[in-house]
Structure 1
Amino acid sequence: MNVIWARSAAVLILLAIAAALLAVFVGVTAALALTTGALLALLVFYLYQINRLWKVLDAPAYGEIPSAVGLWGEVYYRLHRLVKRWRMQVLQVEQQHTRFIQAIQASPNGVLMLDDADQIEWCNAVAELHFGLSARRDARQRITHLIRRPEFVQYLMLQRFDEPLQMRDMGEHKQSVLAVQVLPYGDNRKLVLTQDITKLENTESMRRDFVANVSHELKTPLTVLTGFLETVRDLPVSDEDRRRYVDMMMTQAMRMQHIVEDLLALAKLESDMQPPSQDPVDIGALVHHLVHDAQGLSQGRHEITADIDRAVGIRGNETELLSALGNLVSNAVRYTPDGGRIGIGLCYRDGHAVFSVSDTGLGIAAEHIPRLTERFYRVDRSRSRDTGGTGLGLAIVKHVLSRHHAELRISSEVGKGSVFRVVFPVDRSIHQPGARHAA
């Protein structure tokens, strides 16, 4: 027997005992009057409490459960405990829902929910950006009324959702590429997922260009080698011609070797995720060595000057810095006509170590400058091959400087020459006042 039946029975038993005692000592009439009055009072009390309970159930509000004594106090206590338990469950569901929404909002992909009529129920901020939508403004709007791209409308109509749809020039970024995937769920509802694959597309394009450029760069020397080998094998040639052919084949073989070496150096730089060391490098001595290399490469065909502040030092990898700065110096010698001037400098400016190479060469048009550090990018292909360049030098420079958090600044004017400056960050620049300049 539960507490309600027990307390109700107890009240009736007590009332019967009181009526019996009253009938024995006072009389039956008084006992009946007392019993009738007590039952009527109990009925009125029950009706009053039922009315209170009805108001609570008709317009429930948390924290407004009334209190009472006796049986109804137990009822209200049980009701209060039930409401509290339900409220805790609702709060837990709301928290889970909030965390779920926050997780979807934190996703780098767009999420858009459609009902059975393809109307927007909800979307996250990324989907708003991808499609140019507003979750509040466009709620309950048919998706094809807002996104009217023919390929998207056809994708929804055909319902062939096995493969994602690629959409270009979407949202605020008109150069972007989106992958759109529709996933049906529930009662004919749809989940639309979007992913910005612009970087993947650009990477794939760069990969295709890289393979094509490598093939093209190796094809020319291989063609020359094959032609000369066939000539030497099939035709009678003099010793002088044979030596000349062998020298030309050696030149082409060395060219392929340089390309392979630069490719390996570039691959090593890209695969090395560890930052270069912070060991001090005597950059002054390194630049002085580069000046001698430039003089040897020039063979007196250029006027080479140097202004080196030996008080300047760099924290980094000496081998990588020698490769990067050496590429800039050798490029200046290769692309400067005979009789031109080349200046090599090292100074300390505003807390930064600055290395510079200037020349009076042909100069570079402004539209080519942003692409100079791309692999195999050439302003003049024929001249690059004539000077022995592989097309990878500035790509190596870019990766070395990126690893050292340095900046490459290029200024050039067609017909007047170019200036390449390398500005090292403050935390990698060293300056020891009192050391001498070298010129």
Structure 2
Amino acid sequence: MNVIWARSAAILISLVVVAVGAYFVAGAVLALAVMSVSLVCLVAFHLYQINRLWKVLDAPAYGEIPSALGLWGEVYYRLHRLVKRWRLQVLQVERQHTRFIQAIQASPNGVLMLDDADQIEWCNDVAEQHFGLNARRDVRQRITHLIRRPDFVHYLTRQRFDEPLLMCDMGEHKHGVISVQVLPYGDNRKLVITQDITKLENTEAMRRDFVANVSHELKTPLTVLTGFLETVRDLPVSEEDRRRYVDMMLVQSMRMQSIVEDLLALAKLESDAQAPGQELVPVRELVNHLVHDAEALSQERHQIVAEIDPTVGLRGTEMELMSALGNLVSNAVRYTPAGGRITIRLGWDDGHAVFSVADTGLGIAPEHIPRLTERFYRVDRSRSRDTGGTGLGLAIVKHVVSRHHAELRVSSEVGRGSVFRVIFPLERSVREQAGAADPSRRAA
């Protein structure tokens, strides 16, 4: 027997005992009166408590469970315990729901939920950005009324979702590519997953361009070599012509060798996952060596000025820095017309070691600057070949600078020249004592 039945039986037994006592004391009439009044009071108490219970059940509110004595106290206690358990379960579900929403919001992919009528039920912030939607404003709106692109409408209505749909210039990604994948679930509902694949597409485009450019760059010298070899083999030529053909073939073969060497250097930089060392690089001697190389390459056709702060030191890999900084210097010499000025600086900028090369060359248009470090990208393709460039120098610079956690900044104005600056991080910039033999300024 449970507590409620026990307490009910105890109350009835108590009333019977009181009535029997009244019968023996004052007779049957008094006993009947006592019994009747007690039952009326008990019924009225129960009706009152039932009314209180009805109000609680009609408009439930946590923490407003009434209290009472006896049987109804037990009922309210158990009701309060049940409500508390249910509330804990609801709070747990709400926390799980909140964590689930937070996890979806943290996803780099867009998530959009559609009902059986293709109306928006919910979407995360990334989906809002990809589609240009507003979750609060557009909820319960049909998706095809908001995204009216024919390719998307056809993809959704065709009901063939094996392959994702690629959409360009969507929402805030006016120059990006979005992959859209629809996953059916539940009762004719759909989950729309979106992913920004702009970088992936750009990488694929760069790969295609790279293959095409390598083929094109190697094709020209190979064609020249093949033509001259066939000429020398099949036609009688004089010794002077033969020597001239051999010299031209040597130039083309050296050009191919330079391209292959730069490609191997790039491959080595990309495959080396270890960060450059922290050994101190003799950067002043390195820059002086680059100045001598620039003078030799210029052959007195340019005014070359070197401004070297003797207190500047660097930590890194000497060969990588030699390659990167050397490419910047040689490019300045190649692309500056005769009589121009080239300034090579090594100094400080707000605690950062800075290497810069400024020239008075032809300059670079603003639209070309973001793509300068791409492999084989050239502002003027014919001029690059005439100057002996492989089109890979700035790509090597980019990788070396990135490996040293430095920053490459390019500023240029057409017709007035360019400035290439490499800004090294604080942890690789070392301030040294100036030696007596260290040149602080040199001009040629």
Aligned to 1:437: 440
2:133 match: secondary structure: coil
Contact 2:111 2:126 in 1 (8 A): yes
Aligned to 2:65: 65
Quick one: which amino acid aligns to residue 375 of structure 2? R
Q: Could you list the runs of 5+ residues in structure 2 that have no partner in the other structure?
A: none
Contact 1:167 1:180 in 2 (8 A): yes
Moved more, 57-66 or 362-371: 362-371
Shift, 1:241, TM fit: 4.9
Moved more, 367-376 or 388-397: 367-376
Aligned to 1:4: 4
Contact 1:285 1:310 in 2 (8 A): no
Q: Could you list the runs of 5+ residues in structure 1 that have no partner in the other structure?
A: none
Distance 2:412 2:128 in 1: 43
The verdict on how the C-alpha distance between 1:109 and 1:409 changes in structure 2, with shifts beyond 3 A counting, is closer
Aligned to 1:217: 217
Aligned to 1:101: 101
Q: TM-score, structure 1 length as denominator?
A: 0.91
Shift, 1:325, TM fit: 0.9
Aligned to 1:202: 202
The verdict on how the C-alpha distance between 1:30 and 1:181 changes in structure 2, with shifts beyond 3 A counting, is same
Quick one: which amino acid aligns to residue 429 of structure 1? S
Shift, 1:124, TM fit: 1.4
Aligned to 2:356: 356
Distance 1:350 1:74 in 2: 77
Distance 1:104 1:420 in 2: 43
Quick one: which amino acid aligns to residue 437 of structure 1? S
1:215 match: secondary structure: helix
1:396 matches 2:396? yes
1:169 match: secondary structure: strand
Aligned to 1:173: 173
How many residues are treated as equivalent by the alignment? Answer: 439
The verdict on how the C-alpha distance between 1:358 and 1:6 changes in structure 2, with shifts beyond 3 A counting, is closer
Shift, 1:376, TM fit: 0.5
Quick one: which amino acid aligns to residue 428 of structure 2? R
Q: Deviations over 1:99-129 (max 9, x none)?
A: 1111112221212222222222221111221
2:175 match: secondary structure: coil
Aligned to 1:75: 75
Q: Deviations over 1:160-203 (max 9, x none)?
A: 22222121111123112111122222222222221111111111
Contact 1:332 1:342 in 2 (8 A): yes
1:313 match: secondary structure: strand
1:117 matches 2:117? yes
Distance 1:23 1:421 in 2: 114
Aligned to 1:41: 41
Contact 2:310 2:434 in 1 (8 A): no
1:373 matches 2:373? yes
Shift, 1:434, TM fit: 4.4
1:80 match: secondary structure: helix
Contact 2:15 2:35 in 1 (8 A): yes
Contact 2:19 2:32 in 1 (8 A): yes
Aligned to 1:321: 321
Distance 1:410 1:68 in 2: 83
1:203 match: secondary structure: helix
Distance 1:363 1:32 in 2: 118
1:261 match: secondary structure: helix
Q: Percent identity?
A: 78
Distance 2:54 2:336 in 1: 98
Aligned to 2:333: 333
Q: Deviations over 1:32-54 (max 9, x none)?
A: 22222222221111111111111
Aligned to 2:134: 134
Q: TM-score, structure 2 length as denominator?
A: 0.90
2:66 match: secondary structure: coil
The verdict on how the C-alpha distance between 1:63 and 1:233 changes in structure 2, with shifts beyond 3 A counting, is same
Quick one: which amino acid aligns to residue 440 of structure 2? H
Shift, 1:234, TM fit: 4.4
Distance 1:393 1:287 in 2: 18
Shift, 1:327, TM fit: 0.9
Shift, 1:283, TM fit: 1.1
Shift, 1:412, TM fit: 4.0
Moved more, 371-380 or 317-326: 371-380
Q: Deviations over 1:219-269 (max 9, x none)?
A: 122223333444445455566555544443333333222212211222222
Contact 1:354 1:423 in 2 (8 A): yes
Moved more, 285-294 or 347-356: 347-356
Shift, 1:133, TM fit: 1.5
Q: Deviations over 1:382-421 (max 9, x none)?
A: 2322332111001111222223333334344545544433
